[in-house]
Amino acid sequence: MTYRTLGFGPILAIFASAASAETVTFDPQPGAARTWRMEMSVRPGREGEPPEYSYATQRISSLTRMEVVDEERLHILPLWFQTSVAGETHGTQGPLPDNMRQTMADGFDVTLDEGVITDVMPHGTADVPQEVMTGLSQQYGAILPPARLEAREGWSTTIGDFSGVPDVTVTVTHVTDDSLFLRYSGDDPSFRIAGLAVLDRAEGWLRRVVMTTDQTSEDGTTLRTTLAMAPQDYPFALHADYTFDTPDWETMPNSFPTTEPLPSEADIFPHERGRVRMEDNLLSLDFTHLHEILSNTGRLVVDAPQVFRGDRPMDMPMRATPSITLPNYHEQDGDPSFTSTLLIPTEQKQMLPDVLEATGIRAQVAWYPATPFTMTLTPDDTGHAEVTKNGATATLSPTEEGFDLVLSGQQDDRFMWAIDGDTDAGSMIFAADRGPDWLTPAESLARRIASPDYSGIRVAIRTEASSPTLSVRVNRHPDTPAATRDMMFETDNGRRTDPDRTPDKVLLFKGNPPPRLEDVRPEGLDVAALHFRMGTLQAARCSADFALPQTDAVFAEATPNSNGYGGARLLQMQTPDGIRTHFYERGTQDVTLTCDATVTWEETEVQPDPDRPWQVNFEALDISPELTYAQLMDQIRFVDAHGDALALVTPNGRGLALTDRINWAIFPDGTLRVAGKPVRILRAVSRPDPFTRSFTVTFPDLPVPEEAPQ
């Protein structure tokens, strides 16, 4: 089946006759250029069912620059592009086929006729399929206005065929000194559309666009698409249909966080450094806070990120998107909250090789403190209520299912709400300009960026209560920051190679470490696999024998199954050929463990440096760099204050395999780096102290298979 979609927005022409009112067309000067961010979601589905909220959903993100060559030509350069579907993510920041990358790097030439795109061609010599070029014509048309619009509120026209959507009405809903606000609507059952746009009156660029289409094919399959576009420096979050869950009523809270205490500057910036994380080949800048009430954080704006390798800046331009503050799920014992800011590339290049070499990203962080306040509403006999405070308004009105709560304020106000504790209620959140009923909450909320009032939201409340009391919290912040910090965010490579930073703690043993010799006991009898487990060097000095000689069984050394380094060997009961290791119905017998020496762990002459205990002079340990990782850890242990043995960090961040040579773990400064903060360095020492202990063991009976039910 082939889908026809609207593509990237309000495209091609609206042919309106000239009128005496001011008309707006696409008319910028040659050389004028703008750059847009785009988010898009595409969901397949079946007629009569909700859209498919699954891995079949495709999400597309991009950054695109458009430059005016002259009144008939544009040059379009894709700066960044990423798509995610079925758990797979691909983008220009990672590997791409050479021909695709070259096509993106060359860009596209666009031909115009009275402001309308008539042709799109590759700027280079690449052979691009025609269906792709047709799609690009629609996509790039999103940042061009309809051909002619009247700057008059209420003016409208109907387009018989708007990129495949029949009978689309375009209405000018609001006019300001510099902008026109447009609404797109089409209710054909087979191809619906709902959209908003903001048009620059001076030059005719479309500043912000949101479009949702819902197409039904003859075979009953559906395709639902939401697109949102805004300038790259747009200060608010940009999203399409972001959710992974089928829309449903959420239980309405009966309280929200208190407005006090508010965090101090020291709470917001408790550390000089943050951390760089990577997900889906994109970087984010994270830094933690000492306070727990997320809504009291205020606004944090990250700007001017610059990537470094050591002290040297790297050519890797990126832009910070709006940040989000969350509970600190990264660190169980860390600070209670953290702020994360996603970075997107602003040049069309593969950045992954450079990212792995980078040690940090320096950026400016501005903090706008929270200045929250609350309002309370109780409906009158008609179900209505309205409260205005500090320029914010909350309006409550009755509906068939309960109430609508409409909230608005300053452009960057954020709202929280609660219902009295005696009332059961559910809620869904929409934009204040909700759009048609067929839009989901997420699709509706995407429209906020193209509305005259970005802050406006509509909370649909489902309840049987006739007169509930509602509380509203307004989260506001000042226009100027209270504090600005230049922060360094360390990459994993930077964290590993920074000699002043304590490496994250990593335990040497994934399970229980091998016991001391005096604690060794027979094990495995529950599964008829008798063995003694002990340290590798100790096992080499021990043997085990039965008091009554066994003609078909001996004790031999074996390596246990373990995840990573186990540091242990087994004296295992087995047949002489080693094939059989399980023995049943041998009754009760005595077995003796005998060792001709005792291996103990004693402190070495080299002990951790008090200032940098994680750095250990390799040569001072007097060991061969040709030892394997397993051989080293059989001889040397790095132990922290809790008595835990610690693993090693490697310069490249790759974990050491048991057979890797230890010289792979030596850093350029000649040191080993311990994964944690050791307080002691121990060495295995064999003392000529014999050890003998006897045990009485009882072998299990041979299991009887259960009879099958009759």
Q: How do residues 491-513 score in pLDDT, each as one tens digit?
A: 988 988 888 888 989 999 988 89
Specify the pLDDT at position 143: 63
Report whether pLDDT(5) > 60: no
Whole-number pLDDT of residue 6: 39
How far is Cα 63 from Cα 207, in angstroms, rounded to an integer? 14
* Biggest alpha carbon–alpha carbon distance for the chain: 114
For residue 14, name the pLDDT band (cuts at 50, 70, 90): very low
Q: Which tens digits make up the pLDDT trace of 286-325?
A: 999 999 999 999 999 999 999 999 899 999 999 999 999 9
> Mind listing the pLDDT tens digit for each residue in 666-691?
998 899 999 999 999 999 999 999 99
3-state secondary structure of 353: helix
Is the model's pLDDT at 710 over the cut of 80?
A: no
Helix or strand (DSSP H, E) at 356: helix 352-357
Q: Mean pLDDT across the stretch 694-708?
A: 84
- pLDDT over 50 (residue 130): yes
pLDDT at 357: 87
Q: Distance between the two ends of the chain, CA-based, in angstroms?
A: 53
What count of other Cβ atoms lies within 10 Å of the Cβ of residue 257?
A: 14
pLDDT at residue 21 tops 70: no
Residue 709 has pLDDT above 60, yes or no: no
Give the pLDDT of residue 55. 67
pLDDT band at 526 (very low <50, low <70, confident <90, very high): very high
- The tens digit of pLDDT for each residue in 608-660 reads 999 999 999 999 998 899 999 999 999 999 999 999 999 999 988 888 889 99
Distance CA 176, CA 183 (A): 15
What tens digit of pLDDT does each residue of 202-261 get?
A: 888 889 999 999 999 989 888 889 999 999 999 999 999 888 778 889 999 999 999 999
**Least confident span in 28-37, 118-127, 615-624, 652-661:** 118-127
Structure tokens at 295: 């809504």
Predicted pLDDT at 46: 83
pLDDT reading at 551 higher than 50: yes
- Residue 707 has what pLDDT? 55
553/545 Cα distance (integer angstroms): 10
Q: How confident is the model at residue 179 (pLDDT cuts 50, 70, 90)?
A: very high
Taking phi first (over 0 means left), then psi (-120 to 50 degrees means alpha), and beta for anything else, what does residue 332 get? alpha
pLDDT of residue 147: 55
> What order do you get walking across the sheet with 636-640 strand by strand?
598-603, 678-687, 636-640
Predicted confidence at residue 120, as pLDDT, reads 81
Q: How many CA atoms lie within 13 A of 535 on its CB side?
A: 25
DSSP characters over 655-667: PPPTTSBGGGG--
pLDDT at 490 over 90: yes
Tokens coding 357: 């070499």
In tens, the pLDDT along 330-354 reads: 887 789 999 999 999 998 877 877 8
CA distances from 108 to 28, 140, 350, 558, 582 (A): 19, 10, 19, 66, 71
pLDDT, residue 543, reads 97
Nearest residue to 598 via CA among 535, 538, 665: 538
* pLDDT tens, residue by residue, 366-379: 999 999 999 999 99
What secondary structure letter does DSSP report for 641? T
Q: pLDDT at residue 559 above 60?
A: yes
CA dist., res. 143 & res. 206, Å (int): 5
Classified as helix, coil or strand, 355 is helix
Arithmetic mean of pLDDT, 185-191: 91
Percentage, residues of the chain above pLDDT 70? 92
* Number of continuous H segments (helices) and E segments (strands) in the chain: 8, 45
**Among 391, 430, 355, residue whose Cα is nearest residue 94:** 355
How many angstroms separate the Cα of 33 from the Cα of each of 37, 72, 143, 352, 404?
14, 15, 11, 28, 42
Q: How far apart are CA 267 and CA 287, in angstroms?
A: 12
CA separation for the pair 685, 394 (Å, rounded): 75
Q: What is the pLDDT of residues 86-99, one digit of tens each?
A: 778 888 887 777 77
Cβ neighbours of residue 42 closer than 8 Å, sequence gap 6 or more: 5, 57, 58, 59, 60, 223, 224, 225
Which pLDDT band, with edges at 50, 70 and 90, does 19 fall under? Answer: very low
Question: What confidence tens digit (pLDDT) does each residue in 465-479 have?
Answer: 988 999 999 999 999
Q: State pLDDT tens for residues 413-451.
A: 999 999 998 899 999 999 999 999 999 999 999 999 999
Q: Kindly list the distances between the CA atom of residue 616 and the CA atoms of 602, 611, 647, in Å, as whole numbers in the listed order.
A: 17, 12, 13
In the predicted structure, residue 170 carries a pLDDT above the cut 60 = yes
Whose tokens are 């004693």? That residue is 602
On the question of pLDDT at 12 being above 70, the answer is no
Residue 269 has pLDDT above 90, yes or no: yes
What rounded mean pLDDT belongs to the chain? 88
pLDDT band at 482 (very low <50, low <70, confident <90, very high): very high
Tokens linked to 621: 């340990």
Q: Between 154 and 353, whose confidence is greater?
A: 154
**C-alpha dihedral (515, 518, 523, 529), degrees to nearest 10:** 100
